[in-house]
Amino acid sequence: MPTQTKENYLKAIYALSKGGNEVSVTELSKEMKVSAPTVNNMVKKLEAAGWVTYRKYKPLKLTNKGRTAAAMVIRKHRLSEMFLVKIMGFGWEEVHDIAEEMEHIHSEKLFDRMDELLGYPTIDPHGSPIPDKSGVITRKDYIRLSEVKEGQTARFCSLENSSAELLRFLNVKHIKLGTEITILKIEAFDKSCLVAYDQYSSVMLSHEVCKCLMVEVIK
C-alpha cells in the first residue's frame, strides 16, 4: 500500500505525463518543490514497488500498476470533492485542500459508499473526469473558450486550471459548469473576449481566463 508521500508522487507523475508519457526528474522536482536528489531517492522506491520504470539520467514512466495506483488516488480526490460540494454544501473553490487529505484514506468501502450516495458521478465539481473503479479515465475532447470564434456559442464543461482564485472569479461572474457562453467580439489587441450568457448581455473576459475554460461548441 503506498504511503501518503508515494501517492503524492504517483499523482504528480500521472499529471505531468498526461497519463502515459515519460517524465523527467527535473520536471518532477519542480512539481514536488523538492531537490533532484530527493526525487531520485523516491523514484528508486517507486521503481522497487513496480510503479515506475526508471534508468539513471533518463526520464521515468509509470507502469500499468503505477498508472492504476495513481488513478485510484485521483478517483478518491475527485469523489471527495464531489461529496463535499453536493452533500456537504461546500463551494467548488473550497474543496481542493480538504480532498487532498481525504484522498489518502485507505478505505474502499468508504469511497464506494460515497460514490453510491452521489449517484455514481463521472465528473468532479470542476468538470474533470472521475476514474472508474478499475482506474480507467474517460476523457472528452473539449476546446478552450479562447479557440471559439465570434458568433459561436459554447457550453462550459470543464476547467484547465481550477485554482481557488479562478473559481472565485467565476463565482463573481456567475459562470458555472453548463453555462452557455456566446462570443460577441474578440479584441484584436489582447484576444480578450466580449461574451454574453444567461441574463448577462455584455461581459469582458481576459484571454487568460478564456484559455482556462474548456467548452464544447453547440452552435
pLDDT at 186 over 70: yes
| pLDDT, average across residues 12-32 | 88
Residue 38's pLDDT band (cuts 50, 70, 90): very high
Mean pLDDT across the stretch 53-81?
Answer: 92
The DSSP call for residue 159 is: E
Per-residue pLDDT at 106: 92
Whether residue 139 is predicted with pLDDT greater than 90 in this model: the reply is no
* Confidence tier at 1 by pLDDT (50, 70, 90): low
Say what the pTM is: 0.89
Q: What is the 3-state secondary structure (H, E, C) of 193-213?
A: EEEEECCEEEEEECHHHHHHE
Cβ burial, residue 47 (10 Å; 0-12/13-18/19+): middle
Residue 19 has pLDDT above 70, yes or no: no
pLDDT at residue 112 in the model: 95
* % the chain with pLDDT above 90: 82
